[in-house]
Chains A and B, each alone.
Chain A
Amino acid sequence: QVHLVQSGAEVKKPGASVNVSCKASGYTFTAYYIHWWRQAPGQSLEWMGWIDPNTGGTRYAQNFQGRVTMTRDTSISTVYMELTRLRSDDTAVYYCARGPNSGSFDYWGPGTLVTISS
């Protein structure tokens, strides 16, 4: 059974960094990309980028270039998303999702709430 388990909620000050983890189980970790999305309160989902767990290759959305870094540790089937220079409008739930599988994302983590507050 496929599971993506994310790290817990975070509260950060403006200008700080946050690191969210996503641990995969129930499938071959290196067989699927992991994408990161975020959802601000009351809003739709915004794509942040992807990581190929097999190669470590990444691609980031232009909106996050220079602030986001995605990495992986194949020994523990975990990917990480670090976002730096946090601002109040980075307050959101951050999701990891497996895919694409026929262009869609079939398994999602439960989300990690990141709150930016001074």
Chain B
Amino acid sequence: EIVLTQSPGTLSLSPGERATLSCRASQSVSSRYLAWYQQKRGQAPRLLIYSTSSRATGIPDRFSGSGSGTDFTLTISRLEPEDFAVYYCQQFGNSPPYSFGQGTNLEIK
């Protein structure tokens, strides 16, 4: 079973700043099968990035993803007020169970 560990747990930043979120896997994950989601309170997760670095439909280019193997990163280049939310990484390996990380809470400083 692949465990995803996200850091930091909480990130406090101001609008306009750059956010860097980390996701570390307990074993290697194919770059094809690592995704990032945004979740706001009371809403379902929203797909941001798939296959490590591809933006989902309608996602602004201030969101970018990178990484390989066991270390992956989501970067938000300039934070907008609507970006403050919880962010999750997710893996889809060769066999279940599939998993999400525990999340990073991006809050307004």
Which of A44, A46, A103, A108 has a CB less than 8 Å from the CB of B35? Answer: A103
B82-106 vs A, CB cutoff 8 Å, 1 = contact: the mask equals: 0000001011100011111111000
Per-residue B-contact encoding for A49-81, CB less than 8 Å = 1, 0 else: 100000000010111000000000000000000
Report yes or no: A102 in contact with B96, Cβ–Cβ below 8 A: no
Q: What is the chain A residue whose CB lies nearest that of B30? A: A103
- Chain A residues with Cβ under 8 A from B100's Cβ? 44-46
State the interface size on chain B (CB cutoff 8 A).
27
The one of A49, A63, A104 in contact with B92, judged by C-beta atoms closer than 8 angstroms, is: A104
Complex contact B98–A44 (CB within 8 A): no
Contacts of A95 in B (CB 8 A): 44-45
Verify if B50 is at the interface (C-beta below 8 Å from A).
Answer: yes
Q: Is B11 located at the chain interface by the 8 A CB criterion? A: no
How far, in angstroms, from A47 to B45 measured CA to CA in the complex? Answer: 13
Cβ of B44 and Cβ of A44 under 8 Å apart?
A: no
> B56 at the A/B interface (Cβ < 8 Å)?
yes
Report chain B residues within 8 Å CB of A106.
47, 50, 56-57
B54 at the interface (CB under 8 A from A): yes
| Residues of chain A with a CB closer than 8 A to B103's CB | 44
B97:A62 contact, CB within 8 angstroms:
yes
- Are the C-beta atoms of B96 and A108 separated by less than 8 Å? no
Distance in angstroms from A105 CB to nearest chain B CB is 7
Whether the Cβ atoms of B99 and A102 lie closer than 8 Å is no
Contacts of B98 in A (CB 8 A): 35, 47
Chain B interface (Cβ within 8 Å of chain A)?
30, 32-35, 43-47, 50-51, 54, 56-57, 88, 90-92, 96-103
Which A-B residue pairs are the 9 nearest by beta carbons? A103-B33, A104-B35, A103-B92, A104-B50, A108-B44, A45-B100, A47-B98, A102-B50, A44-B102
What are 14 residue pairs bridging A and B, where the CB atoms are less than 8 Å apart in the complex? A44-B100, A44-B102, A46-B100, A47-B97, A47-B98, A49-B96, A61-B96, A100-B92, A102-B51, A103-B32, A103-B33, A103-B91, A105-B35, A110-B44
